[in-house]
Amino acid sequence: MSEHVFTKDFTKQEPICEEGMGKALDILRTGRLHRYNVNSEEKGDVALLEEEFAAYLGKKYCLACASCGSAMYLALKSLGVRPGDKVLCNAYTLAPVPGAIENAGADIELVEITEDYTIDLDDLESKAGEAKWFMLSHMRGHITNMDRVMEICKTYDLTLIEDCAHTLGASWNGKKSGSFGKVGCFSTQTYKHINSGEGGLLVTDDPEVIARAIFHSGSYMLYERHTARPDRDVFECIKSIVPNYSCRMDNLRAAILRPQLRKLDGQCARWNRRYRILEKGLNDINGISCPRRDPRESYVGSSIQFSLDVEDKETIKTFLQACLDRGVELKWFGNKEPVGFTSVYSSWEYFSEIPSLPRTDRILSTMCDMRVPLTFSEEDCKIILDIIKSVAHTVPL
């Protein structure tokens, strides 16, 4: 069997492109990093990014935020979510999603997931009559049947907010992820599809929602310097009643992001070439399976998930450690304790009551997760597969 040891770092990203670094240096030389520190007739890089991102998504309005978590929080507050309101959310997600709901004072109702790692739409429909709001997390880039999601939302008068931290550049049936809901929220954190270290973007077609979000983000009545926004009269009637939460993006991060956005579709194609190599190889290993992707889903394979055909936790831990010993870092959603970026809903003890979700528990108990950075070549992906296959023979699955 293979004796390869993989030596590349699973957290190492590609460098910021030369154009982005040049723009960042220009801003550093001026000292005008704050988004409103521009001349009255000048568009700063944040305003330009908002225009360009709205155009990319086909939406009317965009707001650049400090993070995707803050974008989700601003979305909930701007839509009118109040303390005690119930917000539905899939149980397979990362901690910033329920954190945003908790921050808004709302109650969280988790929904089961299916074998393909997406939200269980039957369970969603059974719980839809109890809530007004639905935060759908396209977790790890897996997009559910959005046609049925929209039918459920229409039938039960659910307002949809999309968490698209892992689906920037993806689509369902030709329609971009983040353009289905009342609000779409995106991440520009280092491990996402465009990288500013931290950052988020909020899009909507609703003029009052974006006006409230701009005030909430901390516009200091300088909303006219936003250019991806509605007319002034939308702001005038609410400007004294919307609090400031200071969740803005700065010009430095926006300058880094703008050239990346123009290259995004090409980067997504590069990710998918690596993903397809890994997906085919993993499915060829006994005891390992990746979920089938719906042909209507245009995904971005910046990470890959697979399930192990074994329920014994000690065997799974042995498998994971053997892979790590040979340089292949896999996360496991079967851990009861949070590890790095990986956590499960049972560890979110700020819930008023931890629910019982047996289907989700079973699926997560054997799910492994691996980043696919673009610093890995296609040949690197084949080496990783060779290692996983060798370990799977040594630690029978």
pLDDT at 3 over 90: no
pTM attached to this predicted model? 0.96
CATH 3.40.50.2300 fits 265-394, yes or no: no
Provide the strand spans (E) within the chain.
61-65, 86-90, 107-111, 133-137, 159-163, 171-172, 175-176, 183-187, 200-204, 288-289, 297-298, 303-308, 331-332, 367-371
Percent of the chain with pLDDT over 70: 99
115-124, 145-154, 330-339: which has the minimum mean pLDDT? 330-339
The structure tokens 């630690």 sit at 395
Going from N- to C-terminal start, the domains of the chain cover 18-262, 265-394
189-to-39, 153, 196, 326, 342 alpha-carbon distances in Å = 29, 29, 6, 28, 16
Judge whether residue 89 has pLDDT over 70. yes
Joined tokens for residue 197? 């270290």
CA dist., res. 303 & res. 345, Å (int): 21
- Tens-digit pLDDT profile for residues 204-242: 999 999 999 999 999 999 999 999 999 999 999 999 999
Query: What pLDDT score does 282 carry?
Result: 98
Q: Right CATH number for 18-262 from 3.40.50.720, 3.40.50.150, 3.40.640.10, 2.170.130.10?
A: 3.40.640.10
Res 346: pLDDT: 87
How confident is residue 7, by pLDDT bands cut at 50, 70 and 90? very high
Place of tokens 């599809």: 193
pLDDT digits (tens, 9 = 90+) for 245-277: 999 999 999 999 999 999 999 999 999 999 999
Per-residue confidence (pLDDT) for residue 1, from 0 to 100: 54
Place of tokens 């065997």: 315
Distance CA 73, CA 168 (A): 19
Q: Do the Cβ atoms of 191 and 371 come closer than 8 Å?
A: yes
- Grade residue 334 by pLDDT with cuts at 50, 70 and 90: confident
Closest CA to 267 of 195, 196, 199, 193: 193
At residue 338, the pLDDT reads 75
Mean pLDDT value across residues 380-391: 97
Give mean pLDDT, residues 41-58. Answer: 96
Q: What's the rounded mean pLDDT across residues 193-212?
A: 98
**Tokens of residue 45, six digits:** 């890089």
Look over the chain and give the mean of its residue pLDDT values, rounded to a whole number.
Answer: 95
Composition of the chain by helix, strand, coil, percent to 5 = 40, 15, 45
- What is the pLDDT, as a whole number, of residue 340? 74
| 259, 17 Cβ separation under 8 angstroms | yes
Residues 337-376: tens digit of each pLDDT? 777 777 788 888 888 788 899 999 999 999 999 999 999 9
pLDDT at 147 over 90: yes
- Band the pLDDT of 287: cuts 50, 70, 90: very high
Residue type at position 137: S
Whether the predicted pLDDT of 332 surpasses 80: yes
The average pLDDT across 111-128 equals 97
Please give the pLDDT value at position 343: 76
| Amino acid occupying residue 134 | F
pLDDT score recorded for residue 27: 96
For 81-98, what is the mean pLDDT?
95
Q: What percent of the chain has pLDDT over 90?
A: 91
Bridge partners of 160? Answer: 134
CA 394 remoteness from chain centre: 35
**What's the 3-state SS for 314-377?**
HHHHHHHHHHHHCCCCCEECCCCCCECCECCHHHCCCCCCCCCCHHHHHHHCCEEEEECCCCCC
Q: What is the pLDDT of residue 229?
A: 94
pLDDT band at 107 (very low <50, low <70, confident <90, very high): very high
**Residue 20, pLDDT score:** 96
pLDDT, position 2: 61
Q: What is the phi/psi pair of residue 306, to 5°?
A: -150, 160
